[in-house]
């Protein structure tokens, strides 16, 4: 239990000490399948568990399965704590009373769709291959969590009952509560709701097993990928072992950030790779040290592998510089603080420490190991474990086109105080500098960290159409090209040295910089930020490398069906020449990238990156005076750029049609159906409710029909672009290809029903709005969310008390308002459809729909975006 009264919320985290390592022969995938079954309801709370908790205002809600454990978590308003404790205890005590063969069959199909979707993405087959090769047959980790399809198909209802009785018991569970609660209250409530459940049987657990890998073990995997890949794996000790902790530091030295060894040698200097990574897959019985590099086109995988081995060898033989080690330690310490800001993360930390390390504060042991690690101890550990007992996997592009519980009566479900919502309260202090830079602060005592979000009103929409990607190129070059006296490597290292993390991003309307730093190092972090903004180097050599990297990213993006759908949608829906007619994700095409010159990047910086376009949102344990003491001296010399703001056109027309992309060999089809909409400020609340009911929430009409009733997909999601102008709104799902046309017909019919046979009901609106109101308690529970709430005010030019008014609008919302909006924006006959799949398998069914001629896209969407001014 962890008490923190900052926000009226409590995070619940429940770990069961059972995972895929506990599955017997012929049972692979069962732990994960059972996790899905647990969301099907229980005796006293039948129906979808997720829907019940969403209606209670739960956020950060889900369940996951690993080799070692299965966990369930949710963050709820304090007023709903009794309800969520009751719900979890009812699952633990009464789940078995309601599970049926029909439920098993349905969730089995959902899991099989998840498995196919996971394993069909680029490099998706790596995980299963590497586990089989690196662990001997019979080892608890020798199979994936998703398991084998044959085993899933053979799962029986009696297996479900046996698994529940053996593993889903109080004696095999760890429950953590964190937030607006004290220990006495927590104990009383847990005793009330869980005390009646029998403890469960004693269990045997597998021992630590770190098996050696036969030296020289190698495999080659063909996959539909744009670039080859090299992966090296060594088996190492489990999480909590000092050797594991030291190797975690080594992994960051090798491949974390622009200044890391592998990035500099293999991406920047030679270059052989598009990207590199080094990380540890941690476990209770054993862990794995994994180094991965994605090859550049035409690069020999043998050369890339040798370069990786050479760099690891140099690091081990030459040793580690003290400054480099201190930089990585500081970065990991800052990362630890940043990762455990929310109550959900703290609850997860305590549960995981109890299960993996034997005590809830066991993480202190790992922190101590990290602090005491020396360059020599890391070198010695690397020599011991990163040896010839290594598994090597090459991925090459495939180019072919073809005990009984105590008795318990039915229990009353605790009521949720649905009127207990409170509007998020912001305490925004403002100061505008003479050059136009607007500084906003919302102080928040707590962790000794400060969050800075710098928002510049210059995104993809201000680029010339033929130079799509210019804004993103500029952002990357500002960071990776270095600033002031530091090149990109030195600049990144300087941020890490003080425990600061920085990232740059953007969308159609703006670019942003996110900087998070320890409070004690705020002045140094602002100095570095000032260099980045006022004195970027923007060198041509780094520009060429970044452009090549972005071209490689485009090639990889084209191998992912969901990414491809979102790449095509803006070009199909927005009018030609509209500033939002840019591909999603990379926001560029091959033609536009190849046309950009470094002088245009330098000009974009001069014209658009200026203080009068910029707002700096600061949140954390700091005062406005302290912020201004750091900001004013550093940014006073930042001169305005004086470029005019461009209005975003609001005119558009529906562009209905069916467009297909052929993906030979695909066993699933990815669908998109959408249109453009314009939402007024007064319509934000009714639209949020409408979207949740129709397609965005787990309990939405679309998801319940396609996933929970028919098991055709792992899930349906709503897509909504975030521009201030016309928004691209639609739904996307990856479905069993045999059900492609069926799913399309269902989607269209559900849209039609909203306008005719099945309009939204008062009950649906009430549930949705109450869920949202209760969930808004978490809108300011961490610095990132607090910054996001303020950034929303800037984006739409809203007053500081906007969120209070929004909450009241939600509370007063009537079903007629939602239905009125639906009649304006739900257009079942005007949808733009995109389907990506194997046309040999789905083409006949698509033709049988008789929805008019199909537009076939063969150039990955390049022709949808103009290559001229």
Q: Return the exposure string of 212-228: e unless at least 16 CB atoms fall within 10 Å of the residue's CB, then b.
A: ebeeeeeeebebbbbbb
Quick one: average pLDDT of 112-136? 92
**For residue 403, pLDDT beyond 60:** no
CA-CA distance, 848 to 825, in Å (whole number)?
28
pLDDT at 869: 42
Per cent of the chain over pLDDT 70 is 98
Q: What is the secondary structure of 819-868 as a DSSP string?
A: HHHHHHH--GGG-EEEEEE-HHHHHHHHHHH--SPEEEP-STTGGGS-S-
* Cα 511 → chain centroid: 20
Tell me which residue of 313, 314, 310, 278 sits closest to 293, measured CA to CA: 278
Q: What is the DSSP letter of 392?
A: E
429-635 has which CATH code? 3.30.830.10
**For residue 572, pLDDT beyond 80:** yes
**For residue 419, pLDDT beyond 80:** no
Interval 520-547: pLDDT, tens: 999 999 999 999 999 999 999 999 999 9
Contact between 559 and 122 under an 8 Å Cβ cutoff? The reply is yes
Q: Return the exposure string of 316-349: e unless at least 16 CB atoms fall within 10 Å of the residue's CB, then b.
A: beeebeeebbebbbbbbebbeebebbbbbbbbbb
Q: What is the mean pLDDT of the chain?
A: 93
Tell me which residue of 862, 840, 828, 846 sits closest to 658, measured CA to CA: 846
**For residue 255, pLDDT beyond 70:** yes
Residue 6 pLDDT class (50, 70, 90 cuts): confident
pLDDT at 778: 81
pLDDT at 320: 93
pLDDT at 483: 97
State the alpha helices, DSSP H only, in 172-300. 183-194, 242-255, 261-262
CA-CA distance, 186 to 821, in Å (whole number)?
44
pLDDT at 828: 96
Interval 313-371: pLDDT, tens: 998 888 899 999 999 999 999 999 999 999 999 999 999 999 999 999 999 999 999 99
Q: Which segments within 147-212 are labelled E, that is strand?
A: 173-179
Query: What superfamily would CATH give domain 217-397?
Result: Metalloenzyme, LuxS/M16 peptidase-like (3.30.830.10)
**For residue 410, pLDDT beyond 70:** no
Residue 405 pLDDT class (50, 70, 90 cuts): very low
Q: What is the DSSP letter of 39?
A: G
State the span(s) of the chain assigned CATH 3.30.830.10: 2-194, 217-397, 429-635, 657-864
**For residue 401, pLDDT beyond 60:** no
**For residue 102, pLDDT beyond 50:** yes
pLDDT at 654: 87
Count of C-beta atoms within a 10 Å radius of residue 146:
22
Contact between 221 and 393 under an 8 Å Cβ cutoff? The reply is yes
Per cent of the chain over pLDDT 90 is 84
Contact between 347 and 176 under an 8 Å Cβ cutoff? The reply is yes
Q: Counting Cβ atoms within 10 Å, is residue 738 exposed (0-12), middle (13-18) or buried (19+)?
A: middle
Interval 138-158: pLDDT, tens: 999 999 999 999 999 999 999
pLDDT at 400: 52
657-864 has which CATH code? 3.30.830.10
**For residue 422, pLDDT beyond 80:** no
* Cα 227 → chain centroid: 23
Answer positive or negative: Cα dihedral of 153, 157, 162, 168: positive
Q: Counting Cβ atoms within 10 Å, is residue 129 exposed (0-12), middle (13-18) or buried (19+)?
A: middle
Interval 166-183: pLDDT, tens: 999 999 999 999 999 999
CA-CA distance, 217 to 211, in Å (whole number)?
14
**For residue 488, pLDDT beyond 50:** yes
pLDDT at 360: 97
pLDDT at 402: 41
CA-CA distance, 547 to 543, in Å (whole number)?
6
Architecture of the domain spanning 2-194 = 2-Layer Sandwich (3.30)
């Amino acid at each position: 239990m962890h008490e923190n009264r900052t926000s009226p919320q409590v995070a619940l985290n429940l770990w069961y000490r059972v995972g895929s390592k506990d599955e017997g022969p012929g049972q692979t995938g069962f732990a994960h399948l059972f996790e899905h079954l647990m969301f099907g309801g229980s005796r006293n709370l039948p129906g979808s568990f997720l829907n019940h908790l969403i209606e209670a205002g739960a956020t950060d809600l889900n369940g996951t399965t690993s080799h070692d454990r299965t966990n369930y978590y949710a963050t709820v308003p304090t007023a709903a704590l009794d309800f969520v404790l009751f719900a979890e205890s009812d699952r633990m005590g009464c789940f078995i009373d309601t599970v049926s063969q029909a439920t098993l069959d349905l969730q089995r199909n959902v899991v099989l769709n998840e498995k196919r979707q996971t394993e069909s993405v680029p490099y998706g087959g790596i995980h299963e291959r590497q586990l089989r090769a690196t662990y001997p047959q019979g080892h608890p980790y020798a199979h994936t969590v998703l398991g084998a399809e044959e085993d899933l198909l053979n799962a029986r209802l009696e297996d479900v009952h046996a698994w529940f009785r053996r593993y889903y018991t109080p004696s095999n569970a760890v429950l953590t509560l964190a937030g607006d609660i004290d220990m006495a209250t927590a104990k009383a409530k847990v005793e009330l709701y869980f005390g009646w459940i029998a403890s469960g049987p004693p269990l045997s657990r597998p021992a630590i097993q770190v098996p050696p890998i036969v030296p020289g073990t190698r495999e080659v995997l063909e996959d539909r990928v744009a670039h080859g890949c090299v992966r090296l794996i060594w088996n190492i000790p489990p999480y909590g072992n000092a050797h594991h902790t030291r190797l975690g530091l080594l992994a960051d030295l090798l491949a974390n950030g622009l200044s890391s060894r592998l990035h500099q040698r293999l991406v920047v200097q030679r270059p052989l790779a598009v990207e590199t990574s080094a990380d540890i897959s941690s476990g209770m019985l054993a862990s794995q040290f994994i180094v991965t590099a994605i090859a550049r086109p035409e690069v020999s995988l043998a050369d890339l592998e040798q370069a990786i081995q050479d760099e690891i060898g140099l690091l081990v033989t030459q040793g580690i510089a003290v400054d480099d080690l201190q930089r990585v330690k500081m970065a990991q310490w800052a990362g630890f603080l940043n990762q455990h800001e929310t109550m959900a993360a703290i609850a997860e930390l305590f549960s995981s420490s109890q299960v993996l390390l034997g005590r809830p504060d066991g993480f202190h042991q790992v922190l101590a190991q990290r602090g005491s690690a020396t360059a020599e101890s890391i070198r010695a550990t690397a020599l011991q474990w990163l040896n010839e007992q290594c598994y090597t996997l090459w991925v090459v592009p495939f180019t072919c086109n073809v005990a009984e519980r105590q008795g318990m009566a039915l229990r009353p479900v605790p009521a949720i105080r649905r009127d207990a919502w409170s509007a998020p309260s912001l305490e925004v202090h403002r100061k505008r500098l003479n050059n136009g830079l607007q500084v906003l602060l919302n102080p928040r005592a707590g962790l000794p960290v400060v969050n800075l979000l710098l928002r510049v009103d210059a995104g993809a929409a201000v680029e010339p159409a033929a130079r799509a990607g210019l804004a993103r190129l500029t952002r990357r070059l500002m960071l990776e090209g270095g600033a002031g006296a530091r090149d990109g490597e030195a600049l990144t290292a300087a941020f890490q040295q003080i425990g600061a993390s920085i990232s740059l991003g953007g969308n159609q309307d703006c670019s942003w910089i996110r900087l998070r730093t320890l409070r004690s190092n705020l002045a140094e972090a602002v100095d570095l930020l000032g260099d980045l903004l006022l004195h970027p180097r923007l060198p041509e050599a780094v520009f060429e490398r970044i452009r090549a990297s972005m071209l490689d990213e485009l090639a990889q993006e084209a191998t992912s069906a969901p990414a491809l759908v979102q790449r095509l949608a803006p070009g199909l829906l927005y009018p030609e020449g509209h500033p939002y007619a840019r591909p999603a994700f990379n926001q560029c095409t091959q033609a536009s990238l190849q046309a950009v010159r470094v002088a245009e990047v330098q000009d974009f910086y001069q014209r658009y990156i200026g203080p009068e376009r910029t707002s700096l949102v600061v949140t954390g344990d700091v005062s406005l005076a302290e912020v201004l003491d750091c900001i004013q001296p550093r940014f006073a010399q930042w001169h305005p750029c004086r470029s005019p703001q461009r209005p975003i056109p609001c005119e558009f027309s529906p562009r209905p049609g069916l467009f297909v992309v052929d993906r030979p060999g695909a066993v699933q089809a990815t669908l998109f159906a959408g249109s453009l909409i314009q939402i007024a400020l007064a319509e934000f609340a009714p639209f949020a409710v409408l979207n949740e009911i129709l397609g965005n929430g787990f309990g939405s009409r679309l998801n319940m029909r396609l996933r929970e009733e028919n098991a055709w997909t792992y899930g349906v999601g709503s897509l909504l672009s975030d521009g201030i102008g016309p928004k691209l709104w639609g739904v996307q799902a990856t479905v069993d290809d045999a059900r492609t046309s069926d799913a399309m017909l269902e989607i269209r019919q559900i849209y039609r029903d909203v306008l005719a046979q099945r309009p939204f009901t008062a009950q649906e609106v009430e549930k949705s709005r109450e869920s949202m109101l209760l969930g808004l308690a978490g809108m300011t529970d961490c610095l990132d969310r607090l910054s996001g709430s303020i950034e929303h005010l800037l984006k739409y030019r809203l007053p500081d008390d906007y969120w209070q008014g929004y909450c009241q609008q939600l509370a007063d919302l009537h079903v007629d308002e939602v239905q009125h909006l639906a009649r304006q924006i739900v257009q079942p006959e005007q949808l733009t459809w995109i389907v990506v799949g194997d046309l040999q398998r789905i083409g006949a069914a698509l033709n049988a729909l008789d929805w008019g001629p199909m537009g076939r896209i063969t150039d990955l969407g390049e022709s949808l975006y103009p290559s001229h001014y």
